[in-house]
Amino acid sequence: MSLAAARLVVLLPALAAVLGLALARRAPRSTAQLVAGLGALLTLAAAAAGLVAESSSGARPTGHLLPALSAGALRVPLLLQSSRTVALLAVVVAVVGWAVQAFAGWYLREDDRYPVFAATVSLFLSGMLLLVQSADLLLTFVGWEVMGWCSYLLIGHWTRRESANRAAFKAFLVNRFADVGFFLGVVGLAAGPGSTAYREVVAHWAPSGAGTAGGLGDAAMALLVVGILGKSAQVPFHDWLPDAMEGPTPASALIHAATMVAAGTVVLAQLFDVLAVSDAARWLLGVSTAVTMVWAALLAFVQPDLKRLLAYSTVSQVALMLSALAVAPRADGPGSGLVHLVSHAFFKALLFLGIGWLSVGVGTSAVALAGRLRATPEVRVAMGVGLLSLAGVPPLMGFWSKEHVLGAAEAGVGGGAGARAVLVLVAALVTVALTAAYCTRAWLVLDRPAAHLPEPAPAAAEPAPGVSQPAPGAPEPAPAGSRPSAAPVALPALVPLPARASLAVLAVLAVVGGLVLLTPWLRLPGHVSWWTVLLSLLLVAGAASAVWVSTRGATDPALLAAARLRPVSSRAHPLAADHLYLVVVARPVLALARFVTVLDRDVIDAYVRGTALSARLLGRGGQRVHAAERAASGVVWVAVGVLVVAVTGAALW
């Protein structure tokens, strides 16, 4: 039953994608919405059936998705797996996918390309679920690449906007560059055992009691980590994800919550035993995530655009979940990182969809959204739950998952990780305080009227649900830097039941999900350290209180603290990633391209052009000689030639 559910979980969204694309130009929009919604619901039902089947079984069966392949000495079994943890992750992805499809049906109600968007989301889900259920490196790589391609399409969905096209192209290039490392890592890991099956890869590189993976194993895992850092938007690949906000908000919720940026955590969890014996890979992962979580949290605090605040928050929180895998003892397993993945999926999807609801027609800047929660009580509750869970306030799920990560770091200090675990633990505690600060700031901005906020720098407005123009009947987007009216227009009456239900379900899961972790039903590995619980609660309370008090009801807290950091996140700043890419990568590559062009044109092609020129000159000379001679002379020369040939033939006979 569990393996049958695993196959359905992968195939159902793929079928919905194919059917949706086939009907995109022929059927009405309502048909595409029905196909997408029904496909998401059936996928969720199959995932839930798999979780129920696994909850009463301790086995970890595997089965073929397709017939096994043989490539010489390399065995490619194309296996899927089923376990309690895998089934739980599949349910999480399916829940977020259903919520996104339900919300997008309303949010993109006037978009003429909605059927294509819905089909792309279905294909994206199929790729992520394939990666989750995979027990084979090749299937993992296929799911990895499908998500990369779909993310390019979703980010650039509004093709009539140059900024969306630029963001999609940037995401594609950064991920393609990092994926070279991922591919080489897959090849290296499979080369050792001669198989792509996870079970054989782990048994070869990390047998029981192994102290190190060895040279090739360390190199392969390090390359795999490079690819994961790219897809997860970690330093130095972090800058593509905030720009991905140019896509529709439902696409942002999907990419940020439980799919693409969290995929690396799933892959490393499947190969955790190999990662645990590769110090080079764990140091690379630990240093990158420690820097990323603090830096991204600082940038999140100073963002004037609240969607970009959530984007940098995602970068920071993904670093938190990956850092647990960098320091957790091998005996504890990857449970701490996976717990935070589950938690982050629910509260981050909730926050993105809530911001999408509020931003319809007015933009996503702090001034544009100021006070809108007061006019939308339904979203006010949902956003409150999401921000509290993100800040790590008990007893919400975000609190428990954050504490599992801190517990893993604390266990790593005495479990062999040493300095790496200390680095991650300190960075995580700093991130806890910064997260509470920007969550408090976001709540104050959303819940206070615009009169309390100063004029912002010009910022692009969030487009209304449509392609490039406001939807009929929707409010016009607020001009950049303008203030909305004191009483924002409330939209709940326009929002259909599926979109409302998506927020309600995610809010409930963000609350009760933490309670489920306390039960023996799931039995996820990992533990909570009570001294880190106390310390993190003090940091959360202190940071939130400091932000609350510092405002004195007068201004956006981001303008009072760390204001100098805001320009760093702009594309023109010398420390911004875009500027660094331009100086370190683009300009040297452009100079190299110009040099190659000159070499090819003026050196290599010179010989070819010289040969052609010589032939042309000889031809012209012969033509002139022929034209200048008389016919009689020509006959004489022909006779002389015949005589020479005859004499030569007689002499050689």
Residue-wise DSSP of 269-333: HHTHHHHHT-HHHHHHHHHHHHHHHHHHHHHHHT-SBHHHHHHHHHHHHHHHHHHHHHHS-TTTT
Helix axes 249-257, 84-107, angle to 10 degrees: 170
The two structure tokens encoding residue 3: 């393996």
Residue 137: partners with Cβ closer than 8 Å, 6 or more residues away:
186, 189, 190, 196, 197, 198, 201
Q: Is residue 309 part of a domain?
A: yes
Q: Is residue 651 part of a domain?
A: no
Residues 559 and 617 in one domain: no
Phi, psi of 493 (to 5 degrees): -65, -25
Q: Is residue 459 part of a domain?
A: no
Phi, psi of 170 (to 5 degrees): -65, -45
Separation of alpha carbons 33 and 39, rounded Å: 10
Separation of alpha carbons 284 and 262, rounded Å: 18
Q: Is residue 481 part of a domain?
A: no
The two structure tokens encoding residue 453: 């906020």
| 9, 50 contact by CB (below 8 A) | yes
Q: What pLDDT sits at residue 151?
A: 93
Q: What pLDDT sits at residue 520?
A: 60
Q: Is residue 644 part of a domain?
A: no
Residues 449 and 578 in one domain: no
Query: Would you mind telling me the total number of residues written for the chain in this entry?
Result: 653
Q: What pLDDT sits at residue 468?
A: 41
Residues 499 and 615 in one domain: no
Separation of alpha carbons 620 and 642, rounded Å: 25
Q: What pLDDT sits at residue 558?
A: 65
Residues 195 and 241 in one domain: yes
Residue that is written with structure tokens 């001034």 in the block: 367
Phi, psi of 464 (to 5 degrees): -65, 165
Residues 438 and 552 in one domain: yes
The two structure tokens encoding residue 355: 């911001």
The two structure tokens encoding residue 625: 């000689």
Q: Is residue 486 part of a domain?
A: no
Residues 562 and 590 in one domain: no
Residues 303 and 439 in one domain: yes
Residues 153 and 73 in one domain: yes
Q: What pLDDT sits at residue 488?
A: 40
Q: What is the pTM of this model?
A: 0.82
Ordered mean pLDDT values, 10 residues apiece, the chain (653 residues)? 83 95 84 93 94 72 76 87 89 95 92 92 96 94 94 92 90 91 95 92 80 78 95 90 90 88 93 92 95 94 87 95 93 90 93 89 67 82 94 90 92 84 95 94 80 45 44 36 39 74 93 70 69 91 86 61 51 53 66 76 72 74 60 68 80 71
DSSP, residue by residue, 111-141 = -TTHHHHHHHHHHHHHHHHHHHHB-BHHHHH
Residues 522 and 575 in one domain: no
Residues 7 and 153 in one domain: yes
Return the number of other C-beta atoms located less than 10 Å from residue 175's C-beta: 24
Q: What pLDDT sits at residue 464?
A: 47
Q: What pLDDT sits at residue 210?
A: 56
| 311, 223 contact by CB (below 8 A) | no
One-letter amino acid of 476: E
Residues 560 and 586 in one domain: no
Separation of alpha carbons 234 and 225, rounded Å: 11
Q: What pLDDT sits at residue 627?
A: 58
The two structure tokens encoding residue 540: 């959360």
Q: Is residue 464 part of a domain?
A: no
Residues 525 and 597 in one domain: no
DSSP 211: S
Examine residue 236 and say whether the peptide bond preceding it is cis (omega within 30 degrees of 0): yes
Instruction: Work out how many domains the chain is built from and give that number.
Output: 2
The two structure tokens encoding residue 491: 């939209």
> Residue 105: which domain range?
2-454+493-569
The two structure tokens encoding residue 505: 């379900």
By DSSP bridging, strand 74-76 and strand 69-71 are: antiparallel
Q: Is residue 582 part of a domain?
A: yes
Closest CA to 535 of 411, 389, 435, 406: 406
